Amino acid sequence: MTDLEKKILTIAQKHPQYDEKRAVAELNLLSGWGLVENLWSLYDAWHDKPGTNNKLNSALSYYIGITKEPPSGEFTLEPRRTYGRSGWPDVDMDFDYLRRHEIMEYLIDKYGREQVGNIGTIQTLKTKAAVRRAIKVLDPTNSVHFDKTGKEIKTKENFNFALENEILKNLPNLMKRPDGSFVTTVDEACEEYPKFGQYMEEYPEIRRIASAIQGNISGYGCVANDTVIRTEQGYCRIDQIDNLIKIAYVDDGQNIKYSSNYIAHKTGRKKCYKLTLSNGTWVKVTDGHLIFTDQGCVLFEQIRHNPKLFKVWSIEK
């Protein structure tokens, strides 16, 4: 047994519910996987502010103060695997984003434009991510405060994060019904997992906002149709550009170059609006943006259809 392993057991032995047989067995398993140092890193980061999750049913994590949640079953540790596919995982190759266009142009030159395509994935907000974002926006624990300049006042405790974990620990990693179908919405999760549903009844605003944003793209750039960018043919509006027009970019030597494959996959145009705040300033938004108002947190589309019904909040300096 290494010195680090002995140190971990010494700390664990101070816990009133310490079980030596289980602790040693778990430590031996972690040692075989080469994860003892990972456990110590978690202890170093969390022992003074333990979390509330224990999905692996780790007794050691509970004994040494990484989590407040005691194990409810046998310790489970398995290599990461991809669910939903029967074959081997694929092998990906990545290139520096500053020179990625060169690879694309090489493939097009070698095989022809007709034989080369760019494939991308768009990540959308699933149930758990939607709930987390709703909690961050709504601040149901009333623990987020700002100074007069609008800057968030940081504190050691993060009560909203603790609430996220408390609610989401009632959902399994893979939300799947016994018949093999997936649970894909907040409402379905409430029906399938009663404890999660109880929390949603306790926090109806979290449920409402999470249901409204689930399925939306989790991150995208927002530019107006009349945005002008530099191309090899001069400055063009964004709605006039296609993959045949070479776009200007700056390489790692700070030189301006042009490429016909430097445009991200288009996910569809979104109409932009100017939203005027109560202090007279304005911001650019789309119908899918969540906005703080005196009537609660709503989508901008609702404000646009009923502008007199809402007063948009802003932080006065």
Judgement on whether residues 209 and 132 belong to the same structural domain of the protein? yes
For 58, the domain range is 3-63
Residue 42 lies in a domain: yes
Tell me which H or E stretch contains 247: strand 247-250
Q: For residue range 207-236, what is the model confidence (pLDDT) as tens digits?
A: 999 998 888 777 655 455 556 677 887 777
Instruction: Let me know: does 304 contact 287? Beta carbons within 8 Å.
Output: yes
Domain count, the chain: 3
* Residue 77: Cβ within 10 Å count: 13
Q: For residue range 51-63, what is the model confidence (pLDDT) as tens digits?
A: 888 888 999 999 9
- Which range in 14-18, 112-116, 152-156, 214-218 is most confidently predicted, on average pLDDT? 14-18
Closest residue by Cα to residue 60 from 48, 45, 75: 75
Residue 314 lies in a domain: yes
Only one residue has tokens 């999660």, namely 196
Tell me the pTM.
0.47
Residue 259 lies in a domain: no
Residue 72 lies in a domain: no
Facing residues of 282 across strands? Answer: 276
Q: Is the dihedral of CA 143, 149, 150, 154 positive or negative?
A: negative
Average pLDDT over residues 234-250: 71
Residue 137 lies in a domain: yes
